[in-house]
Chain A
Amino acid sequence: MERLLDVLAGLSFVLLLLVLRSLRREHIRVEHSVSWLAACGALLLLSRSRAALGRVSEALGIAEPAVSLIFLILIVFLGVFYRFSRVVSELKDMNITLTQKVAILEYRLRERHEEEGTKARD
């Protein structure tokens, strides 16, 4: 189980680096990186601190600290996925409204051009 904790710490570190790299390259916006950074930081801390993980395991009633860490990872990731589902849904709604607005504006612009063209011909 000790090796599993090392693997989890390694994975948390890699994820942390990935998020920071994406932030630097502006692939992720700062406000959306906070959840990931907090999750990575907490996981890294727990996987390295036996005392903290021991207390969490005891509170959860799980005998094996590595299992409780995996359980926490699952909870954290479910939370992050839920948050991003909400963000994506909100963005989709905004996208639909914008698309409709752009289409209507273009339609009106075309109409106006046609009217002006007709007037100019007359």
Chain B
Amino acid sequence: MNYDGTLLIIPAYNEGGAIGPVVREVREKCAGLAVLVIDDCSTDATATEAKLGGARVLRLPCHLGLGGAVQAGYKLAFEQGYERVVRIDGDGQHDPADVPRLLEVLEKTGYEVVIGVRSKEPGGFETHPIRKAGIHFFRLLLRPILGRAAADPTSGFLAVNERALGVFAQSFPLEYPEIETLVVLQRRRFRFEEVPCRMRKRMAGRSSITALKSVYYVIHVLLGVFINILRFDGRPRAEKREG
């Protein structure tokens, strides 16, 4: 596949144990794809490991959180004239072998965003029941807002084109961006497509969302969704897609 004008970004915070193998796997499975790791002021060797793996590293001088780190990547990509940006997580949950499929769908449909969602294929990584319940809850919540179903609104595996990149470089939800991003897309009349992908167990480390934080996560995201709906800028909502 031709990766000209495409950048793959990996936001990472204290992923020193996983980031090296993740970068090497991307370079192996997507040869020629530019890889940028955004090190969100990690206290471990994330930046060094990413560099050793062969990635370029954007080091944030202060810890900004996931949204701030991802937006920094989008800003750099936008300033450097990239036309497409793929984002994967730094813990190894996303298989880089799926990247070409996401980019193909992005190209073919002309949609602004393509999201890699958890497929139900046998042998795939089973999501924790609490997270599963959370995904189900947000799926139900988002359906009337988006006017269509979103299979996995918490997925951090996505490809965006130049139009979405321009918007995200300017304005991006900062703390837990995935779900709010969908609402932002809908308000901008952007379209998204979902591509089933195989998710894996994280390679190392632990998720930053603990049991207590997950309660805060739900409240924060609910508020974020609500605020994004209120931020309606006067343009009509996108017409409901068929199907």
Contacts of A103 in B (CB 8 A): 58-61, 72
Q: Which of under 10, 10 to 19, 20 to 34, or 35 or more describes the interface residues of B?
A: 10 to 19
Interface residues in chain A, defined as those with a beta carbon under 8 Å from any beta carbon in chain B? 95-96, 99-100, 102-104, 106-107, 111
Verify if B233 is at the interface (C-beta below 8 Å from A). no
Verify if B224 is at the interface (C-beta below 8 Å from A). no
B60, B71, B79, B174 interface centre (most CB from chain A within 10 Å): B60
Q: How far is A42 from B79 in the complex, measured between Cα atoms in Å?
A: 52
Contacts of A100 in B (CB 8 A): 60, 64, 68, 71-72, 75
Interface residues in chain B, defined as those with a beta carbon under 8 Å from any beta carbon in chain A? 56-62, 64, 68, 71-72, 75-76, 79, 174
Given known contacts A96-B68, A99-B68, A103-B58, what 5 new A-B pairs fall within 8 Å (CB)?
Answer: A99-B60, A100-B71, A103-B59, A103-B72, A104-B75
Q: How far is A104 from B77 in the complex, measured between Cα atoms in Å?
A: 10
- Whether B71 and A106, one on each chain, are in contact in the complex, defined by CB atoms closer than 8 angstroms, is no
B65 → chain A closest CB, angstroms: 9
- Whether A96 and B64, one on each chain, are in contact in the complex, defined by CB atoms closer than 8 angstroms, is yes
- Whether A104 and B72, one on each chain, are in contact in the complex, defined by CB atoms closer than 8 angstroms, is yes
Contacts of A107 in B (CB 8 A): 56-59, 76
Residue of B nearest to A100 (CB): B72
- Whether B174 and A96, one on each chain, are in contact in the complex, defined by CB atoms closer than 8 angstroms, is yes
B99 → chain A closest CB, angstroms: 23
Contacts of A95 in B (CB 8 A): 62
B224 → chain A closest CB, angstroms: 14
A28 → chain B closest CB, angstroms: 23
- Whether B62 and A99, one on each chain, are in contact in the complex, defined by CB atoms closer than 8 angstroms, is yes
